[in-house]
Structure 1
Amino acid sequence: MAKCGGCGQFIAATASIRCGKCAVCYHRACVGVPPSATPSPAWLCPGCKAKLPKTDNSATPVKGAAADCSVPNSPPTVAPPVSLDLAHEIRAFREELSALRVDIRELRQENAQFRAAINGCNERLDAVVHRVDSLEQRFEAKDTSSYDHLEETIADLKLQLNERDQDLLLNDVIVSGIPESKTENPAHILKTLSLKLGVDLDDRDIVNVERLGMVRRNFIAGSSQHDITEHPRPRAIAVRLSRRTVRDKLIQAARVRRGLTTADLDLHGQPRRVFVNEHLTRSNAKLFHLAREAGQRSKYKYVWTREGRIYVRKEDGVSAVRIRSHADIRKTFGDGYV
């Protein structure tokens, strides 16, 4: 089976027409030959006709268009039909173009939504930045004295609460330096201490006696009578008395006899200094510790407490200064002491 020289498709012998010169087969429709016409054996294809030399026909009389046609009433030339594969490809291409248009349209819509969302975010961010700038300008322009006044008020309230807590401890004393033992009786130790100081305590004068802090479990066997702790700093004993006058007598007697030791109290173990001081709140205790260190470095002669209040005096003949907060320590001793 031969192929058509015009469209390139296979062609049956009965439906083809062969060129008398190049012997190439053609569809009748591809070369414009009607199916009913019978071509001569010397029929030439359009390619071979184009290659023939042109002749001078000036002497030939003009004839009608019908004389040139070998077949009378021949139908007009019909364009070659388009192949089915090409039609399918064109249809698929159109469908792809339509889908691509839909995708591009959706992409444009999503891009518009994305731009709108970005613009909204930018507007909100600009609003936040504007508010922050306005607050900063307002804070810079506004007098900061109100904030300072607020901080001073808070500090004053803390001082007032601390002083109230300290007032609740006016009947209390702290006894430190007494070694611990498993079988100790804090009330008996307190009575023995008061007798050594020259103060007679009655059972009605003692409200409560206890060790401060958590119980330590690292006891070791000491003597045959007591078990003494191995820790170098035993827990202090907090004593609450029923009357303030008794407390003042006990503290005054302890200040007179500063060299009192555990040996004077007939307590076993290595002799230790025994101290009897006012019971301070935790805040005042830390403040008193800082004031003592700062006073030692600054060579202050006196740093003491009275009625739960902290005082310092540089030397004799100078008025005492009360220390109520860290600011007072900075003001009295300088910024390097806090």
Structure 2
Amino acid sequence: MPRMMRSPPQSSPGNCALLETQSEPDLSPVVVASESSSHDLGNITTRPSNKRFRGDDSWTEPDKFIDLKNMLLSWKSDQDIILNKLVAEVSELKQQGLSIQKTNTEIEKTIQFFNKSYEDMRERVERLEKEHKECEKRINDMINISSGPTITKLEAKIDSMEQQARLCNVEVCNLPEKRNENLFTIIEAIGNAVKFPVSQNDIVAIHRVPHAHQNDNKPKNIIVKFKSLLTRDNLLSAYRKSKCIKTDQIGISGALTSIYLNEHLTLKNKALFREARKLANECGFKYVWVRNATILVRKQDGTSAFAIRSNVDLGKMVSGKKTPTDTDAKEL
């Protein structure tokens, strides 16, 4: 049976124009692009796209959950990376915080040490200030006392005690010094010169004493301490009767000098005695002497003597007024 051929339906002129347009596409750009990118396409692995869009009829509920799960996993992976970074940074900050805390602890300990040192120093300064104030108060009290009569009485009492300790002493002045001199022999010679023999058994101690001033070129004085006050008084009485002793009388060669025997006075009484003699020459007093450690002055023969015991008495010598101790001086 012969095959029958169906002839195509006739179309209108408008449809023919449309068919001609669709049957003759311009493929030259596609060919060129395929040829130019054939090398690049060889390096690209393509896979069939199974992605289904939400408007598609094949998008089912399980697919929605799978897509959501994939999105969550992707988000979780990103969050894990961020979290790990945050953990690392927090760990580093924690280490820095611990280091800072350790440093702060050391600083606190140092500050506590300085605070304790400061408190100790402050307490010590306060204690020293308190002691300083107490010392100032004591000094002021002593100054106030020294300006009053109490210190004067104490000084007088001490000087009296010192003078009492020298009661049995004789001071030999202006006796030339010689090397290897025998002072016992010299005192025995002086006793023979004034006709009052003295032996070594009568002497407790004998020695030369240094000068009060280093520039003094006079011979050092000799201090003789006797066993009894009677021996000392008898020797001084014999010396006053002889009035003068020369070095040749006791066997000392060289320039002829006078030797003086005096009672052994304290430094205060010696200064008072020198001042009394100076004023006596200025005011016309004829006699100045010492008896039992008391300084006595007399204006002239026939007048009464009075004692000099302080600078006040020296002032009365100048004014011509007698002191209240005139009776004591007469008894001496």
Q: Given the two structures, how large is their TM-score scaled by the length of structure 2? A: 0.51
Residue of structure 1 equivalent to 2:99? 99
Residue of structure 2 equivalent to 1:287? 268
Alignment of 1:53-202 (within 5 A): 63=55, 73-74=66-67, 75-76=70-71, 77-78=74-75, 79=78, 81-82=81-82, 88-104=88-104, 107-108=107-108, 111=111, 115=115, 118=118, 151=151, 154-155=154-155, 157-167=157-167, 169=168, 172-180=169-177, 186=183, 188-197=185-194, 199-201=195-197
Letter in 2 for 1:277: N
CA deviations 1:96-150 (Å, max 9, x no partner) are 1133134335645664675577567657866876797799899989xx6699576
- Distance in 2, matches of 1:123 and 1:183, equals 64
- Distance in 1, matches of 2:123 and 2:232, equals 71
One of 315, 320, 324 as aligned partner of 2:299: 315
Letter in 2 for 1:255: R
Structure 1 pair 271–209 and aligned structure 2 pair: CA distance change class (3 A): farther
One of 222, 226, 233 as aligned partner of 1:240: 226
1:272 and 2:257 correspond: yes
The answer to whether the Cα contact below 8 Å between 2:209 and 2:223 also exists between their aligned partners in 1 is no
**1:314 Cα deviation after fit:** 7.3
Question: How many residues matched?
Answer: 244
Structure 1 pair 121–262 and aligned structure 2 pair: CA distance change class (3 A): closer
CA deviations 1:70-115 (Å, max 9, x no partner) are x863211422624978754542222111331343356456646755
The answer to whether the Cα contact below 8 Å between 1:187 and 1:209 also exists between their aligned partners in 2 is no
- Distance in 1, matches of 2:177 and 2:139, equals 58
Letter in 2 for 1:272: T
**1:265 Cα deviation after fit:** 3.6
Task: Indicate the percent of aligned positions where both proteins have the same amino acid.
Answer: 14
- Distance in 1, matches of 2:135 and 2:227, equals 56
One of 222, 236, 244 as aligned partner of 1:251: 236
CA deviations 1:154-187 (Å, max 9, x no partner) are 43552353243133x1xx4333344455676555
The answer to whether the Cα contact below 8 Å between 1:191 and 1:201 also exists between their aligned partners in 2 is yes
Higher helix share: 2
Letter in 2 for 1:213: R
Partner of 1:270, secondary structure, is: coil
Alignment of 1:32-43 (within 5 A): none
Residue of structure 1 equivalent to 2:320? none
**1:333 Cα deviation after fit:** 5.5
- Distance in 1, matches of 2:138 and 2:260, equals 56
The answer to whether the Cα contact below 8 Å between 2:159 and 2:266 also exists between their aligned partners in 1 is no
Structure 1: stretches of 5+ with no match in the other structure: 1-22, 24-36, 41-61, 216-230
- Distance in 2, matches of 1:311 and 1:184, equals 33
One of 200, 208, 212 as aligned partner of 2:207: 212
Structure 1 pair 164–189 and aligned structure 2 pair: CA distance change class (3 A): closer
Residue of structure 2 equivalent to 1:226? none
- Distance in 1, matches of 2:173 and 2:93, equals 101
**1:296 Cα deviation after fit:** 4.6
The answer to whether the Cα contact below 8 Å between 1:194 and 1:250 also exists between their aligned partners in 2 is yes
| Structure of greater Rg | 2
**1:212 Cα deviation after fit:** 0.9
Residue of structure 2 equivalent to 1:30? none
- Distance in 2, matches of 1:175 and 1:118, equals 66
CA deviations 1:3-34 (Å, max 9, x no partner) are xxxxxxxxxxxxxxxxxxxx9xxxxxxxxxxx
Letter in 1 for 2:190: L
- Distance in 2, matches of 1:103 and 1:249, equals 95
Letter in 2 for 1:321: A
Q: What is the alpha-carbon root mean square deviation over aligned residues? A: 5.2
